[in-house]
Structure 1
Amino acid sequence: MTHSQIPIVILIKTWQDAKQDAYPIRKRVFIEEQGVPEEMELDEFDLHARHALAYVDSECIGTARLVTLPGNLGRIGRMAVLPRYRGQGIGRQLLETLLKVSQSQDIKQVELHAQVSVIPFYEQFGFIAQGDIYDEAGIPHRDMILHIQQY
């Protein structure tokens, strides 16, 4: 099934409204699948972030967040899609949605901590890898940045 056959709705929510749908996905992907310690998975940024949630019918199948930092900077992270929905363009739609939100918030540069295995995915959007590879929760990561073009 291609992503064009699945009607996906992406909603932007506060953590208060998002956590009941987003946290089970993050727990499944990051804690259970990738072995991230639970105390590292939730952080102080969730409360102030804008959370993008992808729904098929009423089921939440993917999530990501945008944290606004000082100096017109944004950080995208915690992007996770349930295993059976991967490879269908859902991560792409989540990322595109958060990049549009970044633009509307007058964010000039977006950064993310990419797992090394998905750097090519982010490069498709113009993200550029910077610096050395480092360990985050036992997984190799590399910082990436994107300068947001204002239209």
Structure 2
Amino acid sequence: MSPFLVREAVTEADRQAGFAVRREVFVVEQGVPEELEYDAYDTTAVHVLAVRRADGLPLGTGRLLYGADAAGRTGGAEGVGSLGRLAVSKAARGLGVGAALVRAVEDVARGRGLTAVDLHAQTHALGFYERLGYEAYGPEFPDAGMPHRAMRRVL
């Protein structure tokens, strides 16, 4: 049995736990300004949360934008969702949490009738997403001061 569980973050406590992981990873570790990390999409996105089975400690999070919310990130492509804000706490890295969160977001996307998922990957994470079936497209671009590439996986 896996030492962690991934679920949709449906309660306010779940969402706050996910936000705490994002703060730890993006704001503290990577230096992303807090005002860039949290946005209006957080209220309409579907969030997923990974927690340690033993005690419920939050280990990672991610979100899915779809419909009108995803249009700007996916080039307006019909039926394509946008995976974003994927973060895994330093203590949980290497346990498979990130891959499980990506698969959970994909499951949510399928459940909403989407046919593909796009994401904007930090360039150092391209290999991680490629191993999960994502393909990079388009030029490198800056986001929050870090180089990124757009990627897509057909579901």
TM over 0.5: yes
User: Could you tell me the TM-score, scaled by structure 2's length?
Assistant: 0.87
Q: Any residues of structure 2 matched to 1:112-127 within 5 Å, and which?
A: 112-127=119-134
**In structure 2, what is the equivalent of residue 79 of structure 1?**
86
Report % sequence identity: 36
1:60 lines up with 2:54 in the alignment: no
Q: What's the C-alpha RMSD, in Å, of the aligned pairs?
A: 1.5
Listed as ranges, the gaps of 5+ residues in structure 1 are none
Q: 2:9–2:15: 8 Å Cα contact kept in structure 1?
A: no
**In structure 2, what is the equivalent of residue 49 of structure 1?**
45
Q: 1:22–1:53: 8 Å Cα contact kept in structure 2?
A: yes
Secondary structure of the structure 2 residue equivalent to 1:45: helix
Query: How many Å separate the matches in 2 of 1:126 and 1:97?
Result: 14
What is the aligned counterpart of 2:30 among 31, 34, 59?
34
What is the aligned counterpart of 1:106 among 107, 113, 136?
113
What is the aligned counterpart of 2:17 among 21, 38, 57?
21
The residue type paired with residue 64 of structure 2 is: L
Q: How many residues align?
A: 144
Listed as ranges, the gaps of 5+ residues in structure 2 are 69-77
Change (3 A) 1:10 1:142: same
**In structure 1, what is the equivalent of residue 73 of structure 2?**
none
Secondary structure of the structure 1 residue equivalent to 2:121: strand
